[in-house]
Amino acid sequence: MSTQLELIPLYSSSKGNSTLLSINDTYILVDCGMSCKKINEALTSVDVCADDIAAVFLTHCHSDHISGMEVFAKKYHTDVYATEGTLRALPNLGDFTRVNVISENDIVNIGTDIEVRSFPTPHDATGSVCYKIMNKRNGMSASVMTDLGCFSDGMKGFAGGSDIVLLESNYDCKMLRNGPYPYSLQQRISAGHGHISNEECARSADSLIRLGSRRFVLGHLSPNNNTEELAITSFVDYLGSRGYVRNRDYEVQVASKIHPSEGYSL
């Protein structure tokens, strides 16, 4: 593992999410949305021991982000940070570990080297946030931005300049419109409080590139309304229309839905 800054998506889809960050050999998880067994298997596959996780930061209360949290906390007693709205879905968590309530605009320090900032998202869950994690030794940072609802100017300012961005690319508009979901669910996903599409992801990346970000991981792809090929093609084509060239002006990869991805190491 890197001793500077590393981001590895362990799982990333509508069926379960967890992202590992390594900063100066300290390990943090953002979300614990798969079973404790699967999270442990994923950590082992990237040579990290679950006992060494210093903290878990939860983005919101939906099951694909918290379903493994209580068992993980019971087994490993890892400190947990989350908003009050998220913690209401985990009423027994405090029986197993130390729970830290954060606000939707907060700054948390882990040791002397790591700063974690939260920022509210308009996703349809009370207290939903995204995170920016900074290595205070050298200023490198990574942002984990999924379940956004929409990408606001505030989010752009919050994540701007991040060295790595895990950015939601949840659905292809045509697949969602022509797929099996009822109209009410399609609206829930696409109407500004659910998820962002491949197209909005690409537009968001354009804003972030102009603020200095260069490395992107497309995450939280829908198993039913998206494919890796569509997500990448939409991203590269849109940025190409704006004059950006992949691997010259930016780098991009897609987070796997079912196993740890390569991620980025700086």
Euclidean distance between CA atoms 116 and 103, whole angstroms: 12
- Under a CB-based contact definition with an 8 Å cutoff, are residues 163 and 155 in contact? no
Using a cut of 0.85, tell me whether the model's pTM lies above it.
yes
For residue 83, the cross-strand partners are: 102
- Cα 44 to chain centroid distance, Å, stands at 20
Per-residue pLDDT of the chain (266 residues; tens, 9 = 90+): 445 899 999 999 989 999 999 999 999 999 999 999 999 999 999 999 999 999 999 999 999 999 999 999 999 999 999 999 999 999 999 999 999 999 999 999 999 999 999 999 999 999 999 999 999 999 999 999 999 999 999 999 999 999 999 999 999 999 999 999 999 999 999 999 999 999 999 999 999 999 999 999 999 999 999 999 999 999 999 999 999 999 999 999 999 888 898 889 88
Pair of tokens at residue 82: 């989350």
* CA terminus-to-terminus distance, the chain: 10
Euclidean distance between CA atoms 105 and 119, whole angstroms: 5
pLDDT for the residue numbered 259: 87
Euclidean distance between CA atoms 181 and 177, whole angstroms: 8
pLDDT in tens, 57-69: 999 999 999 999 9
pLDDT in tens, 20-79: 999 999 999 999 999 999 999 999 999 999 999 999 999 999 999 999 999 999 999 999
Which domains, and CATH codes, for the chain?
A: 5-258 (3.60.15.10)
